Chain A
Amino acid sequence: MSRTNLDERQLQQRHKAGNQAFLLMAFLLLADMALQNYGMKWLEYPLSNYAIFMLGVGSYLVRLIWSGAYVGPGGAQGGAKGKNVLGALLAIVVAACILIVTFVNPTAQSAANSGANGKVILIISVTAGLVILSTVYLIRRRNNRAE
């Protein structure tokens, strides 16, 4: 077994999905460049690249989960559980910070007045973290159940 704790089928699936996601992103970025060259703007510059990036990474992630190549074998071991608990604690701490910043000390956010909404970004980060943790938990349950 490899250092990544994935079995051979999972590694094969990852390589396949990764290669295809990379080619998809390269194609979409080139298509975006070409469209912008002809004056067709479907989205402003940094956002368009970000959207393409998210599409590539999102498709990669969905394919990994779909093909069962996201969590390796031996997921029920203590180390993995410790990581889960640590992740959940981190998410709770960040969520508490958001609540404090939002309701207890709302003036604290005025320091970041650069246009990006820090609260929203933090909430999205915490939500993404919790979604990842839940996904890993569900996959481990599916992997460890009897036939």
Chain B
Amino acid sequence: MGKNLRLKASRAAKDMSQKQLADAVGVTRQTIIAIENGDYNPTLRLCIDICVTLGKTLDQLFWEGTKDEQNEPG
């Protein structure tokens, strides 16, 4: 599992620190770090909480498709 740079970018775009995001979704800062570094695979529940907090969809933050799928327009 690679690093989740999209999550990191979305968090930075919202001007949130790892601690603020962790508090918002009810986990520790270490858990957010682990998700961003690709060391932990979060449950769907936590993914949804993160998406709602950051105003993104699951696809935008967590979908790991092929390069072709990611480059598709729309």
Contacts and interface: CB of A to CB of B under 8 A. Distances in A.
Contacts of A8: 27, 31, 42-43, 45-46
Contacts of B45: 8
Nearest to B34: A9
B22 to A, nearest CB: 6
Interface in A101-147: 143-147
A73 B27 CA distance: 5
A34 B43 CA distance: 43
Interface residues of B, number: 17
Interface of A: 1, 7-10, 68, 72-74, 143-147
B23 interface: yes
B36 to A, nearest CB: 10
SS of B interface (majority):
helix
A146 B29 CA distance: 9
Given A9-B34, A73-B26, A146-B17, 12 more contacts: A7-B26, A7-B27, A8-B42, A8-B46, A9-B27, A9-B42, A72-B28, A73-B27, A143-B19, A143-B28, A144-B19, A146-B19
A8 B28 CA distance: 10
A68 B28 contact: yes
A143 B19 CA distance: 8
A73 B22 contact: yes
B30 A68 contact: yes
B32 to A, nearest CB: 10
